[in-house]
Chains A and B, each alone.
Chain A
Amino acid sequence: MTDERKALYRLANSRISVEKQNKLLEIYGSALELFSALPSDKVKEYVGKAYENLLHCDEKRLDEELHKLASQGVRVLLRGYPDYPELLNQKEVQPPTALYAKGNVKLLSKPCLCVVGTRRCTDYGKRVATEWTAELAEKFVIVSGHATGIDTYAVKSCLASGGSAIIVLACGLDAYEMPDFMRKADPDKLLLITEYPTVTRTIKFFFQERNRILSGLSSAVLVVESAERSGTLITASKAVLQNRYVFAVPGNVFSDRSKGTNALIREGAIIATSVHDIFEDLGVDYKKQTSASNSIANLTTDEMKVYEFLCNGARHFDEIAMALKMSPVEASTLLSVMELEGIIEKKMQNYFALSI
C-alpha cells in the first residue's frame, strides 16, 4: 500500500479508539509509516484485539468502499489534508482520523459558532435560540447536534434567516433521516458531518463523543438553556478543554432548565445578555439593521393597550381581560385579531405574549 489517504482510511476503520489512533499517528508520523512498521509487538500490545484489523486488509474492498462513498456524494475528510477542518485538527479535540461529510464542505472553512441547549426547552430558551441564531447566522455558520428543543429551533431559525448550518451527527450518514425543514432548505447551506462510518446506528455513548466535534469545529459555543446535568454541559466542558469561548445565557434562578447555564456563568463562562455581547467578545463587527416594526404603528387604542400590557412578558387571558376592563367576548375577539395580525402569539394554557 502506497497511498497515505487509503492508509488513513484503513486506520480510521480499524476499530481502534480515536485516542489510540492519534497516539499511533503521533508515534509513527504518518499512517503509511505505521503500516510499514507492521507486524510489531509493541503495536499489538498497545491496541489489543483490534490489531488483527490493522494486519489484514482487503485492499480491493477498501477501494470499493471509497468508490461507493464517492458515488453517494459522501466526502471523506482525512486528518492532515487541507480539506480537513483546521480548528478540529488540534490535540485537545481528539480529532477523528476520518470524517464523513455530505453537503457543502466549504462551510467548514468559515467561522463557526455552536448553539446548544436542552431538549426540553422553555419558551424563554426557544425565543433566545430563535432570535439570536437568526442574527448570529449572518456572521457565523451555525454548528448544531440537532437534537429536539433548542438545537432544532436554532437550526430552523438559522436556515430560515438564510444562514448556513453544519449538523454533526452521532450516527452514520445513512442512519440519519433529515427532517422536512432541512430537506426544503438550500443544499448549499447545509453540511452533515460525522466521524462514524455510513451505516452506524447510534448508541448513547456516541452523543457524548460527538459533542467534542461540535465544540471542536466552532470558535465559540453558546449555551442557551441547560439543566444541571446534561449533554449540553458536556459540550461546554469540552469547549473549555479545547480553549473555545463559552457563552452562557443567564436564566431564571428558579427554573430547572437554567441551572446549568447559571452554573456555567458562576464557573467563568462569558455571560451573554445579547447577540452584541457575543459579537463584541469575538471581535466581529456587526450592526443590526434596525427594522422599525411598523406592525405596531397602526394599532387601535385597545390593541395598543394590550401591546403595552404584554411588554413585560406573557399574561393569562383573565389578566388581560381584567386589566383592560373588557368582557371576555371583547377580549377574545381582540386577541384573536391581534394574533392573526402577527402582533401577539397564543401560548399554551391561555397565555398570550408578544410574538417573537
Chain B
Amino acid sequence: MLAKINSFGLQGIDGYAVSVEIDINNGLPGMDIVGLPDTATKESKERVRSALKNSGFRLSPKRITINLAPADTKKEGSFYDLPIALGILYATEQLESDKLFDTVFVGELSLNGDIGKVNGILPMIIAAKEQGLKRIVIPKANENEASYVSGITVYAFSSLRETVAFLSDECEVKPIAVKNACSAFSSLKGKEDLKFVKGQLAARRALEIAAAGGHNILMIGPPGGGKTMLAKCLPGILPDMSADEALETTKIHSVSGVLSSGQGIVNTRPFRSPHHTASRIALTGGGVNAKPGEISLAHNGVLFLDELPEYSRTTLEILRQPLEDGKVVVSRAARTVEYPARFMLIASMNPCPCGNLGSQTSECTCTPAQVAKYLSKISGPLLDRIDIHIEVGGVTYDELSSADSAENSETVRDRVNVARKVQLDRFEGSNTYCNAQMNSAQLSEHCEIDSASEALLRRAFTKLGLSARAYTRILKVARTIADLDGSEKIEKRHVAEAVQYRSLDRGYWQ
C-alpha cells in the first residue's frame, strides 16, 4: 500500500513542502530512502526501525521504498523521521486515520520512540500556514517557538505513541495556544544598563544618536576605557522590536539552532559579538549546510566587533556588502540562499597597539610606523559605512567613585523611540527605516541645511581636514540629532554637534 505524508524541509531561512512517500513491496527485506538525502536523513531508517519496535509496533519483513519529493532537492536533517514512521504504519495497515493526509509532520525520533527537538520549526510552520495547510504536528520541545503563529493548528507531542493515539482519535488533545508576539517583550531584563556607566558623557550621547538613527558606530579608546561596557548597553536603548521583526529574527535563530527550548521567540534585539578569530564563513554564513552566520543572527539587532583591527582584513571586507544591502547571499555548489542581515555595527578599537596614543596620563610606546600599520588594517570602504566615530577616554577615579548615578537606559530608550517614530513616518512607503539607510535622493530631500550651517560645514572641512566621505555622514547624523531634538529642520547646532563624531576623519589620524 502507498502512503503519502506531508512534511517540510528548510531552504535558507524558509520552509518548503516535502512529501514523504512510502511504498511497501514484496522482495528482499530492507529500507531505501531516495530523493537526495544527506547522511542524517539516510540514517533515519535505523531510528525509525527501532522507534517502531520500541513503541510496540511491528515491522513486516518487506521491501520499503521511501521517496522524499521533490526528488531533485537535497534533503538535510532529521525532520523526516516522524512522517516516515507514520507512513510505514499506514502502509502496513497499523494506523487508520482521516487526519493523516491533511496534517504536516515534522520531528526526529529517538530509538525508544520519543520525538526530539529539531531546528527551524518556526519557518516551517510559517511556510505551512502560507500554503494553506490546516494542521501541523511538531516535537514537544519546539512548542515554545511554535506558539507565536496564528492561522494554523499546532499540536506538539513527545512520543510516537502519543501521536498515533491522537491520529486514531483514541484521546482528545488540545492544540497549543497561540500567544501574541507583542506580549512577549521582556524589555531590559538581563541587559547592561547605562546607569552603571560612569562618566563617558560624549560616548553616551553618541550611543544614543547611533541607536536613534540606526547609525553604525566605531569607538576608539585605550584598553579599560569602557568600550565593551558601552557596547553592551546598546541593545537596551534600541527601539522596541515590532512583532514582524521579532518573528524574522526568531526564524533565523530557529534555523541555526541557537534558540533554547525555553525561549520561544527572540523578543529582545540580539547582541552578537563574534571573537576576532571568527572566519569569514562564521560571519556571513555558509558551510556545507549553508547555515546563517553571525551577521544574520544579529539581524534587527547589534553586531559588536571588539578590537576591530584584530579581525583579518578579508573577514572585515566581506561585511561591506551586507552593511549596504541588509542581506547576504551565500552561494554554494548545491544552492544559493539569501539570509537577511540588517544589523547595526558597533566596533571598538585601540588608537594604537599599546593603546595609549593621545592619552594625557600614560605614554604611548608605539612608533609612528606601528600606529600607521595598525590603523591601516581598517580599509576606507569599511570606514565609509560607519557614520559615527567616537573617542572613548579613560574614566577618572572621581568619576568612577561618584555616587550620583547617570541616566538609565529606560529614559534614553524613550527618547530613541520618539526619534525613530519620526523617522518611520518620514520614510513611510519606502524601503528605508532609519536615517542611516537614507539614499542620496532622500538625503537631498530630508537633509537640507541653511546657509549658516553650510558655512560651518565648509569651515569644518578646511579646518579639521575632514575627508570628502565625511560630508554625507555628517548630514545623516545631523538629521538624527535634529530628530532627537524634535526639530523639523536641521539647525546649525545640530551640524556643529555632528562634526564631533568624525574622529577618524581628522588629520591627526592619517
A residues neighboring B (CB under 8 Å): 119-120, 122, 148-149, 255-257, 314, 316-319, 321-322, 328-329, 331-333, 335-337, 339-340, 342, 346-351
B residues neighboring A (CB under 8 Å): 199-202, 204-205, 221-222, 351, 357-360, 363-364, 367-368, 390-394, 396, 399, 456, 459-460, 463-464, 493, 496-497, 499-500, 506, 508
- B508→A332 contact, CB < 8 A: no
- From A122, A319, A333, A347, name the one whose CB has the most chain B CB atoms within 10 angstroms: A333
- B363→A257 contact, CB < 8 A: yes
- A317→B464 contact, CB < 8 A: no
- A348→B497 contact, CB < 8 A: no
- From A148, A149, A314, A336, name the one whose CB has the most chain B CB atoms within 10 angstroms: A336
Q: Which of B205, B359, B464 contacts A339 (CB 8 A)?
A: B464
- A336→B364 contact, CB < 8 A: no
With a CB–CB cut-off of 8 A, which chain B residues contact A349? 221-222, 351, 358-360, 391-394
Q: Which residue of A lies closest to B201 (CB)?
A: A328
Q: Which residue of B lies closest to A316 (CB)?
A: B393
* A-B contacts, 5 listed (Cβ < 8 Å): A321-B201, A335-B500, A340-B464, A348-B359, A349-B221
With a CB–CB cut-off of 8 A, which chain B residues contact A333? 493, 496-497
Q: How far is the CB of B461 from chain A (nearest CB, A)?
A: 10
- A317→B497 contact, CB < 8 A: no
- B357→A337 contact, CB < 8 A: no
With a CB–CB cut-off of 8 A, which chain A residues contact B399? 318
Q: How far is the CB of A333 from chain B (nearest CB, A)?
A: 5
Q: Which of B202, B391, B459 contacts A340 (CB 8 A)?
A: B459
Q: How far is the CB of B296 from chain A (nearest CB, A)?
A: 34
- A332→B497 contact, CB < 8 A: yes
- Are A331 and B364 CB-contacts (below 8 A) given A340-B499, A349-B351? no
- B351→A348 contact, CB < 8 A: yes
Q: How far is the CB of A338 from chain B (nearest CB, A)?
A: 10
- A348→B357 contact, CB < 8 A: yes
The docked-state distance in angstroms from the alpha carbon of A347 to that of B361 is 13
Q: Which residue of B lies closest to A256 (CB)?
A: B363
- B368→A350 contact, CB < 8 A: no
- Are A148 and B368 CB-contacts (below 8 A) given A336-B500, A349-B394? yes
With a CB–CB cut-off of 8 A, which chain A residues contact B396? 316, 319
With a CB–CB cut-off of 8 A, which chain A residues contact B368? 119-120, 148-149
With a CB–CB cut-off of 8 A, which chain B residues contact A337? 456, 496
- A348→B391 contact, CB < 8 A: yes
- Are A339 and B351 CB-contacts (below 8 A) given A351-B360, A351-B393? no
- B456→A340 contact, CB < 8 A: yes
Q: How far is the CB of B371 from chain A (nearest CB, A)?
A: 10
Q: Which of A256, A257, A335, A339 contacts B463 (CB 8 A)?
A: A339
With a CB–CB cut-off of 8 A, which chain A residues contact B360? 314, 316, 347, 349, 351
Q: How far is the CB of A236 from chain B (nearest CB, A)?
A: 22
Given A256-B363, A328-B204, A337-B456, 13 further pairs, Cβ under 8 A = A119-B368, A318-B393, A331-B201, A332-B500, A336-B497, A339-B463, A340-B456, A340-B463, A340-B496, A340-B499, A346-B500, A347-B360, A348-B357
- A342→B463 contact, CB < 8 A: yes
- A318→B506 contact, CB < 8 A: no
Q: How far is the CB of A317 from chain B (nearest CB, A)?
A: 5
- B391→A350 contact, CB < 8 A: yes
With a CB–CB cut-off of 8 A, which chain A residues contact B367? 119-120
The docked-state distance in angstroms from the alpha carbon of A348 to that of B204 is 18
- Are A350 and B496 CB-contacts (below 8 A) given A120-B368, A318-B399? no
Q: Which residue of A lies closest to B496 (CB)?
A: A336
Q: How far is the CB of B388 from chain A (nearest CB, A)?
A: 12
Q: Which residue of B lies closest to A255 (CB)?
A: B363
With a CB–CB cut-off of 8 A, which chain B residues contact A346? 500, 506
The 9 closest A-B pairs by CB, nearest first: A348-B358, A336-B496, A328-B201, A349-B393, A328-B205, A317-B202, A350-B393, A350-B391, A333-B493
- A348→B363 contact, CB < 8 A: no
With a CB–CB cut-off of 8 A, which chain B residues contact A329? 205, 497
With a CB–CB cut-off of 8 A, which chain B residues contact A119? 367-368
The docked-state distance in angstroms from the alpha carbon of A328 to that of B481 is 12
Q: How far is the CB of B395 from chain A (nearest CB, A)?
A: 8
- B201→A318 contact, CB < 8 A: yes
Q: Which residue of A lies closest to B456 (CB)?
A: A340
The docked-state distance in angstroms from the alpha carbon of A332 to that of B500 is 7
The docked-state distance in angstroms from the alpha carbon of A351 to that of B394 is 11
Q: How far is the CB of B139 from chain A (nearest CB, A)?
A: 51
With a CB–CB cut-off of 8 A, which chain B residues contact A348? 351, 357-359, 391, 508
With a CB–CB cut-off of 8 A, which chain A residues contact B364? 120
Q: How far is the CB of A352 from chain B (nearest CB, A)?
A: 10
- A347→B497 contact, CB < 8 A: no
Q: Which of B200, B456, B496 contacts A318 (CB 8 A)?
A: B200
- B357→A350 contact, CB < 8 A: no
With a CB–CB cut-off of 8 A, which chain A residues contact B204? 328
The docked-state distance in angstroms from the alpha carbon of A42 to that of B71 is 100
Q: Which residue of A lies closest to B484 (CB)?
A: A329
Q: How far is the CB of B415 from chain A (nearest CB, A)?
A: 11
The docked-state distance in angstroms from the alpha carbon of A257 to that of B367 is 13
The docked-state distance in angstroms from the alpha carbon of A319 to that of B392 is 14
- A332→B358 contact, CB < 8 A: no
The docked-state distance in angstroms from the alpha carbon of A351 to that of B393 is 8
The docked-state distance in angstroms from the alpha carbon of A337 to that of B499 is 9
- A336→B499 contact, CB < 8 A: yes
The docked-state distance in angstroms from the alpha carbon of A349 to that of B200 is 11
Q: Which residue of A lies closest to B368 (CB)?
A: A148
With a CB–CB cut-off of 8 A, which chain B residues contact A318? 199-202, 393, 399
With a CB–CB cut-off of 8 A, which chain A residues contact B390? 350
The docked-state distance in angstroms from the alpha carbon of A204 to that of B498 is 46
Q: How far is the CB of A255 from chain B (nearest CB, A)?
A: 7
